[in-house]
Amino acid sequence: MDSLDPATGNLMGEVETTSPDSIRGIIAEARTAQLEWSQLSLRKRSHLLQQFAEILLSRKKIVAELISRENGKPVAESYTSEIIPVLDIVKYYTSRSAKAIKDRRVHNRIPLMKTKKAFVRYEPYGVIGIISPWNYPLLLPLGQIIPALLTGNAVVFKPSEYTPLVGDLIAQFLWEAGIPRKIFNIVQGGGDVGAALLSSKINKMFFTGSTTTGKKISELAAKTLMPLSLELGGKDAMIVLDDADIDSAASGALWGAFMNAGQTCVSVERCFVHDKVYDYFLATLQAKTKTLRTGNGSETGIDIGPIIHKAQFDTIKFQVEDAVRKGARIAAGGDFMDRGGTYFISPTVLLDLPMECSLMNDETFGPILPIIKFTSDEEAVRLANNSRFGLSASVWTADKRRGMAIARRLQTGAVILNDVISYYGNSDGVVGGPKESGTGHVHGREGLLEMVYPKYYEVERARRTKKLWWYRYDAALLSFFEAATDFLFSKSLFKKTKSLFNLVPNFLRIKKI
């Protein structure tokens, strides 16, 4: 399978594809190896992942340049949005996991069960499948791989067919750090390999990608009730209030919409601006947009890299043309450059968009920013919530109380005041959203708990004692438990007192088999 540079179309390298028929064997070997891996101490597994981080840090320049060439993003973004967050994820999870998933003592409140000692332990699922996309080929998979391995799971990882070399590099670094090859497995290929992984007997699947594909995966997984964690699409809203710092808000909109050529699930895809500052905001944004440079992300000074492939280029172009046909107008950019195998789009700002157009409803995943005017906080909330997605949103204001009041009403998994996107780099945060944006979470304790299931353990210390609720169900037993129910749960002092006169005599008459 070839890997091509999206900025030049040049061949970067090749990887060997995995036969779909071999997937079941890979998983069977991983399941056997996982039994031993899960018995290693958390400290030992943490040490191996810290070794991985040291390898990544020592070769950061190689990794950054590879990401830029294979994905297309500027080299600076390889550091800020991939390498630095990954190193922090390793540091966070290896230092916090022991506390986050330690055994939880269970206290039984019913007096008759006080002889029991119980606790909940978090157990690894077993073999976890991870299918990751091309837009963040280092951060997105490792945000799941690291906590999966740390909690004692084996992993079968399929990187995108558009960024297979970064996927291979992840595998090489993990193996070099000491992670056994049957514990971390990489499979390369297209949709047929992903389908084979999904139809195999893995214990849980993690998928990051489009909502359309996520729905298909859900349908297939439902046949075996396979647990899923789906991080899907977004249509994130940015709300600029009339008291916002306009210069800062315009810069935030610029970066939030155009970073990674807009190919980001939590990018700004709808920008709602108060009518009192609309003209000033637009003029500021237009001036800033003109300064951005589009080209080969591997070259110094480039801000916007290429679109990853023709299908994505065509989707973005269709949405813009559809909006213009329905009355929208282009206020900046609008250049679509098909250079015979490489695809570039200049950062584009649109105005006067009809709410029914595709650009306002479907995920765009490109350097396109629609600007919509509003007149009240209530209208801004209504417009922002008018979406089938719910990943994140941002509110720009000088009034924290006003901003938080709006934030609480937004139907999203995250809201940021006076910033965009960067919360994804917070290892102690949580990423995921309601509606059609997915079903699971990454990062933070919530991301760690996606990798384990709670298992209840109980020890009966009075092992020779026959329990009162066992057979035989005679009249004395019934009278005892009727009185016990009143004694334990009635709010009436009279009923509680009365029940005591029935508890003792009936208790003495109970006979057990």
Q: How far apart are CA 185 and CA 180, in angstroms?
A: 9
For the chain, the straight-line distance linking the first and the last C-alpha, in angstroms and rounded, comes to 70
Element (H, E) at 503: helix 493-509
CA distances in angstroms from 279 to 237, 283, 371, 381, listed in the order given:
19, 6, 11, 21
Q: How far apart are CA 247 and CA 251, in angstroms?
A: 6
Residue 482 is a catalytic residue: no
Q: Is 55 exposed, middle or buried (0-12, 13-18, 19+ CB in 10 A)?
A: middle
Element (H, E) at 44: helix 42-58
463: CB partners within 8 A, 6+ apart: none
Angle at 488 between CA 487 and CA 491, to 5 degrees: 80
Cβ–Cβ < 8 Å for 450, 430: no
Buried b (16+ CB within 10 A) or exposed e, 118-142: eeeebebbbbbbbbbbbbbbbbbbb
What tokens were used for 232? 């899907």
Q: How many residues does the chain have?
A: 513
> How many helices (H) and strands (E) are present in the chain, helices listed first?
17, 19
Say which DSSP state 304 is in: B
Pairing between strand 392-396 and 236-240? parallel
Question: Which candidate, 127, 128, 131, 308, places its Cα nearest to that of 208?
Answer: 131
Q: What are φ and ψ of residue 55, in 5° steps?
A: -65, -45
Cβ–Cβ < 8 Å for 370, 271: yes
What tokens were used for 163? 């960024």
Q: What are φ and ψ of residue 353, in 5° steps?
A: -85, 135
Beta bridge partners, 351, equal 329
Residue 231 is a catalytic residue: yes
Question: Which candidate, 184, 191, 140, places its Cα nearest to that of 166?
Answer: 140
Q: SS3 string of 128-185?
A: EEEECCCCCCCHHHHHHHHHHHHCCCEEEEECCCCCHHHHHHHHHHHHHHCCCCCCEE
Cβ–Cβ < 8 Å for 19, 146: no
Amino acid at 377: D
- Find the catalytic residue in 77, 265, 357, 436: 265
Could you give the residue numbers annotated as active site?
231, 265
